[in-house]
Amino acid sequence: MRQLKVKVCGNTEANNLQQVCSLNPDYVGFIFYDESKRLVESPAFVPKVEGCKAKRVGVFVNVSVRFIQKKVRDYKLDIIQLHGDETHGFCQKVSKVKPVFKAFQVHNNFNFRSLSAYLPVCSKFLFDTSSATYGGSGKKFDWNMLNNYTIDKPFFLSGGIGPEDAQKIRKLNHPMLMGIDVNSRFETEPGIKNIEVLSLFITTVTRVNSKHPTKDGFYGAFGGAFIPEMLHKNVEELKANYLTILASKSYQNELAGLLKNYVGRPTPLYKAKNLSTKYGVTIFLKREDLNHTGAHKINNALGQILLAIKMGKTSIIAETGAGQHGVATATACALFGLPCKVFMGELDIERQAPNVARMKMLGAEVIPATSGSKTLKDATNEAIRYWIANPETYYLIGSVVGPHPYPDLVARLQAVISKEIKEQLNTENNIEQPDYVIACVGGGSNAAGAFYHFIDNEDVKLVAVEAAGKGVHSGKSAATFQLGSVGVIHGNKTLVMQTSEGQIIEPFSISAGLDYPGIGPMLAELLTNKRGIGLDATDAEALVAAELLTRLEGIIPALESAHAIAALEKIQFNPTDTVVINLSGRGDKDMATYMKHFKNGKKNRPRI
C-alpha cells in the first residue's frame, strides 16, 4: 500500500503548531471561518514556524476571492480549502490564486457523480461529515459510501477521525484515498493538539509495511548499500542476479528438493500443551531446531550456495556467531564440494566449541577474528575484509544484515518459516491466523523469516525479543533496538549501538548468536514504525526459560531461542490467543553453558 498523507487542521497556537510540525505532517490547516472554535485571527504566530515543511492550507467557508487572497498573502498559504457551498465557477477563480481542495459534506444520499463539474478546477477533494456548521461535528460519515466514489480524483478523508481509527483507515484501501484530515479528536482543548496521541496515530497510519525494500535497498529510513568501492562490482553483480535466479524454476525445484529431503522440511508446528497450560494460552512451537544441522540457518545457507553456484562462484566465505551459520555453510559447502572459510570471533570459538569441531569435520577452515570484542561483529568485519581482498569469492552472509541486497535475499530464503506456519495453522489446526508470532533477534534472520508472510496482516502481532545481557542499561547488553541510534554498520544504515562519535559499542549477551550491535534494516523499520513489538530478555531470564521448556516439553532450546520463550513472561495474553514461537535452534551447542549454570544451584531456576 502507498503512504497516506496527513493533514492536521485547526491549528491556532505557535508552540503547539511547532510541535505538530515536528511530527512531519504533510499539511497543516488554518481555519478562517467566523463560526469555528478554531478561528485564526492573527497571522502573528506564522513566522515562528518558518522551518515547518508541511504545506499550509487555509480553510474558507463562503467568502469572497479578495478575502481569500488577503489570507493567502498574510499567512503564506500554499493551498486553499473551500469548505462551504462554493460553486465550480468560484473554485475556478480561486484556483488561479493557489491550488484548491474542495470539501464536500457526505450524507446518506450523497451523489458523487455530481462532483464532475469540479474535476478540472480542483486539485483534490475532501470528504467530510454532513452537518449544519460546515464540518467540525466530530462525527464520522458512513465510510461504506466511498465505494460509490469512482471518479479519478484523489481525495482526503475527513470528519471525526479519532485515535482509534488508525487500523480501520489502513484497511480502507480505496484507490483514490490519498490522505486523511484530522482535527478535533486529537485535542486537549479547541485548537490545541495532543502531540503524544497524534504522534502515535501518524506513525501508525502512514507506515508502509516493509516486506520488500526499495530498489536501492531501503526499508523506510533503513538499509541501502554503504560499501567501499572495492565491493561495488560484487554487490552489483548479486543485485543484478538474485531475483531472477530465485524466481527461476530450476532454482526453485532444486532448493525445494533439498529443503524437503536433505533438511527435513516442513518442520513441525508443535502445539506445546504443557507450556500452553502454564501460560493459559495456546502456544505453538515452530520447530526450526529439528532442521538438519540444528537451526534455521541451513534454509539460507542452501539457498545462497545454489545462488552462488548459478553465478559461477567457486569458493565460499561466511561469518558466524554461535557457529550455527558456520556449520550450515560448512555443510552446504561439503554437499557441493566448494572450499569454505568461516570467520568466527575468538571468544565465540571458545564458548561454542562443539560447533567449531563440526565445522572442522565438515572440511571448513575456521579463521579466528582477533580484533575488537572478538565476537560476531568482528567476525563480520574480517569476512568483509577478506572479501575485499578476494573479490572472486562468494560471501554467504548468515543474517538479514549487510549491504543491499543481502537483507532481502536472506529474508526471502528464511520466509519459508512463516509460509509453513501459515499453512500448518490453517490445515492442521483449523486456525486462520496467529495472534502473536514471537522470535528472538540478533541480526534478525529467524525473526524476519517467521514474520515475513504476516507483515501485511496487521492483526498478527510480531514480537522481536532482543538479548538484554545483564540488563538493558547494565552496560553489558545487546538490546540494539532500545540502545541503538541510526548509523551505518557492515554496509547498511540501521540502528546501531554506538557512541556519539560513531564508534561501535561492544555488545554483550550470554548467547553468541544474539550479541550483535546492529539489527537487520527490515526489523529496524518494523520496530521503529511500531508494526513490530520490541521486547528483551536478560541472560538470567533466558536461562530460566531454557530450563522451563526443557522440563515442560522435553525440548532443549538454543540459548538464542530461549530468549523468545522468555518473552512469554512479559506479554498479557487473552486466553483465546494463538501464539507461535519460532524455536530457531536446538541447545546441544550450549550444553557447557547450561551445565555451568546448573552448578550454581537454585539461583535463576524456574518453578515447574
Partner 1 sequence: MEKRIDHVFEQKESRINIFITAGYPQINSLPDIAKELINQGVNIIEIGMPSSDPLAEGEAIQKASAIALSNGITMDLIFNQAAEIRKFSSSIPLIIMGYFNQLLQFGVAPFLQQCAKAGVDGLIIPDLPMEVYQQKYRRLFAQYQVKISFLITPQTSEQRIKLLDIACTSFLYIVSDNSLTGANASGFSAVQIKYFKRIQKMKLSSPTMIGFGISSKKMVEEANKYSNGAIIGSAFIKAVEKNEEVRFIDKII
- Interface residues with partner 1 (CB under 8 A) are 224-230, 232-233, 371-372, 377, 381, 384-385, 388-391, 485-491, 496, 498-504
β-strand 79-82 against 222-223: which pairing, if any?
unpaired
Let me know: does 461 contact 436? Beta carbons within 8 Å.
Answer: yes
Q: Which is nearer to partner 1, 78 or 237 (CB)?
A: 237
Q: Which is nearer to partner 1, 483 or 545 (CB)?
A: 483
Q: Which is nearer to partner 1, 251 or 386 (CB)?
A: 386
Q: Which is nearer to partner 1, 318 or 567 (CB)?
A: 318
Residue with cell 499567512: 75
Task: Kindly state the cell numbers that stand for 97.
Answer: 490564486
d(CA 59, CA 80): 6
- Write down the least CB distance from residue 268 to partner 1, Å: 40
Let me know: does 366 contact 342? Beta carbons within 8 Å.
Answer: yes
- Residues 6+ positions from 153 with CB-CB distance below 8 Å: 115, 119, 122, 124, 125, 176
Cα 323 to chain centroid distance, Å, stands at 26
Q: Which is nearer to partner 1, 95 or 380 (CB)?
A: 380
Handedness of CA 193, 199, 203, 205 (dihedral sign): negative
Task: Kindly state the cell numbers that stand for 37.
Answer: 472554535
Q: Which is nearer to partner 1, 29 or 491 (CB)?
A: 491
Helix, strand, coil tally for the chain in percent (to 5): 45, 20, 35
d(CA 303, CA 251): 9
Burial category of 501 from C-beta neighbours within 10 Å (exposed 0-12, middle 13-18, buried 19 and up): exposed
What DSSP state is assigned to residue 472?
A: T
- Write down the least CB distance from residue 221 to partner 1, Å: 12
- Write down the least CB distance from residue 496 to partner 1, Å: 7
- Write down the least CB distance from residue 453 to partner 1, Å: 32
Cα 407 to chain centroid distance, Å, stands at 12
Phi, psi of 342 (to 5 degrees): -115, 125
What is the layout of strands, in order, in the sheet containing 394-395?
Answer: 365-369, 340-345, 316-320, 394-395
Instruction: Render 176-241 in DSSP notation, one character per residue.
Output: TEEEEEE-GGGEEETTEE-HHHHHHHHHHHH----SS--TT-EETTEE-----GGGHHHHHHHHHH
- Write down the least CB distance from residue 486 to partner 1, Å: 7
Type and span of the H or E element at 71: helix 65-75
The three state secondary structure string of 82-93 is ECCCCCHHHHHH
Q: How many Å is the Cα radius of gyration of the chain?
A: 28
Instruction: Return the ∠ at Cα 506 (arms to 501 and 508), rounded to 5°.
Output: 145
CB half-sphere exposure, 552, CA atoms < 13 A: 22
At residue 154, the 3 state secondary structure works out as coil
Q: Which is nearer to partner 1, 214 or 250 (CB)?
A: 214
**Backbone angle region of 220, left / alpha / beta, with phi > 0 → left and psi within -120 to 50 → alpha:** left
- Write down the least CB distance from residue 382 to partner 1, Å: 10
- Write down the least CB distance from residue 391 to partner 1, Å: 5
β-strand 436-440 against 578-583: which pairing, if any?
parallel
Q: Which is nearer to partner 1, 382 or 560 (CB)?
A: 382
d(CA 567, CA 473): 18
| C-beta contacts of 426-431 below 8 A and 24+ residues apart | 428/269, 429/269, 429/271, 429/284, 431/578
d(CA 420, CA 429): 13
Handedness of CA 113, 118, 119, 125 (dihedral sign): negative
Cα 11 to chain centroid distance, Å, stands at 32
For the annotated catalytic residues, the residue numbers are 297, 319, 584
